[in-house]
Amino acid sequence: MSGTKMRFLLGAAVLAMLGACGNVDSDEGSIPGLLAEAAKQAAGQRERAEVSETVDPSQMAATALRVNTGPLILVGLESRNTTQVLAMTGENAGQRTYMTKNEQALVLRDGMLAGTRGLGHDLSVAEMAQSSALIRSGRSGQAQRVMRYWTGDGLERPLRLDCSIGPGPKAGVIIESCKNGPLEFQNNYIVQGGRVTVSRQWIGPNLGYVTIQELRP
């Protein structure tokens, strides 16, 4: 078995483990403003989402590594049942933008999700300096994060969250559990060299969770 395929399979096993650790528990009817409406639409959007064609993610990863020389990530959007390889298209002040051919993008800072573009119901920006410092250093503690979303009226609405960070039940997995009233979600991370290399992170009430595996740093 090639080193590329072995590396991918190990990462895929870890992603599955992170997925098993994940948890969302929310009372959608009482989430204020934008989030209430978005949460009501989420189930219907998932039902309408088309199931992606059957692909071999290991082959997808191997092909991408062969034809691209720059940084790459493998991304799975759970609500749409899609898996894609994204290539880095830009880097600014430690913040990296990874994009597909059809210009859908994730913005990462040290492997943590900072924003999305072109997916619909996008996360404009995540302010998470406190969480990032704890997660990347492997420390437990309390932190606050703010996630901002664009609304139909062109305004940016903030979602403020209180988060608890600590080791998960699986060795090497760090869990960030965040809450705002009845809304709760849980992010799972594996950290190497001070950055997140494998993760399962919550984008928002419509898009749900995304799994991210670093293929090439």
CATH code: domain of residue 173: 2.40.360.10
- The answer for residues whose C-beta is within 8 angstroms of residue 20's C-beta and 6 or more apart is none
Q: What is the pTM of this model?
A: 0.79
Q: Could you tell me the CA-to-CA distances from 197 to 58, 72, 215 in Å, in that order?
A: 17, 11, 9
Q: How many domains does the chain have?
A: 1
Q: What is the phi/psi pair of residue 22, to 5°?
A: -70, 155
Q: At 115, is the secondary structure helix, strand, or coil?
A: strand
Print the domain residue range for 107.
Answer: 3-216
Sheet arrangement for strand 105-109: 112-117, 105-109, 95-99, 82-92, 72-77, 208-216, 195-204, 183-192, 174-180, 156-167, 141-150, 123-127
- The answer for residues whose C-beta is within 8 angstroms of residue 50's C-beta and 6 or more apart is 80
> Averaged in consecutive runs of 10 residues, what is the pLDDT profile of the chain (217 residues)?
51 58 44 43 41 67 92 96 96 96 96 96 96 97 96 88 96 97 98 96 96 97
Contact 213, 195 (CB under 8 A): no
Q: Which two tokens stand for residue 86?
A: 């994204």
Residues paired with 90 in a beta bridge: 97
Where do the H-state alpha helices sit in the chain? 3-21, 33-48, 57-67, 129-137
Give the pLDDT confidence score for residue 69 in this predicted structure. 92
Give the pLDDT confidence score for residue 92 in this predicted structure. 96
Contact 133, 142 (CB under 8 A): no
Contact 161, 155 (CB under 8 A): no
Give the pLDDT confidence score for residue 12 in this predicted structure. 55
Give the pLDDT confidence score for residue 47 in this predicted structure. 44
Give the pLDDT confidence score for residue 15 in this predicted structure. 58
